[in-house]
Chains A and B, each alone.
Chain A
């Protein structure tokens, strides 16, 4: 269902929903926009740091030895972007819910989450979702999607959870013209994103280009400035490599799951010291291989949704687009 509302009404709606949900909204915190429990919402600045990942798969999370039955207030995450939704639905849900055994800790956090996405109208210079099969608006996986028109907003529900939000809020349905207006705005945004990376992962065959290039020199050159900090992995909405930290005491078994990074030297090291990828260039290339070949094979979408976070985060100014461009 697509409803239509006045821009000003959104605050009232959020107010109503905050009675039943713990609300997180994108808001300015220093130079960054983060999901916070604050009131002021920055609807347009991207990327929103932390993204959805932290809400379903926290950076460090006790997975054994916590109270699994503890009740928590439902969480509503407002201002979610298409790129992050895609990573959640196409990668995380598949790995942690669909593929057996399901991760019960993830499942609980995921089911507790109501996702309110928003169309991007001001893509950042680092955004390139359109080059990797995505779009600057929620396509699937949201419960409610908000599209800002000029003075009005369209609110599209896509699930029972989304529909439930309007049980006590009466709004008119959007007309054909309203939807046309929304789609025109979306087209404009798409064009704005396309300027950032004028390539298409399918047509330009990123996968084969990466697979076929095992030229040590090329990858060494690209990885030359890498500081091996792992930031690109931690910031990425599709990366979920993890380690189990054993923190049991004499009374109880306790384990903490924490993010890991394939760029770190010890990532694939085996007992005794053997290492399949001791050199940085191999690990650097592996990240591209993993995203554009292995994940593409596994999930039928590449493991990059073009959110651009790895570009902004990298202290060495390494740009995934430039690395790929050099292979085409």
Chain B
């Protein structure tokens, strides 16, 4: 099919090596999950322990709440493609110590708190989560 001869490239592009999880900095939200959305070894090792996680704040579901959802990428909303938008599977429910300070959806933030794993339905919002950070404090990254 390919009629046009491919010109010889002098050198191959070298891909950036995968960055390992930093030892002291916050981990990334995606580090909590394996590709099949099961919990990663890192998540299992930190269950019940204090952890810092980097991500983005989805626009809060309710004002003056202690709850928000952390996403790995800014939660873009497409008016044409997402009526009744579904949450991505790889999110983190965050329960703050105090009322949430709202940050714009595309500002990188870090939340620090205790990691909880396992199914949970929020009694007020009915929000279902598989993984949570509780007693959290959140700030700009």
Q: Is A bound to B?
A: no
Chain B interface residues toward A at CB < 8 A: none
Chain A interface residues toward B at CB < 8 A: none
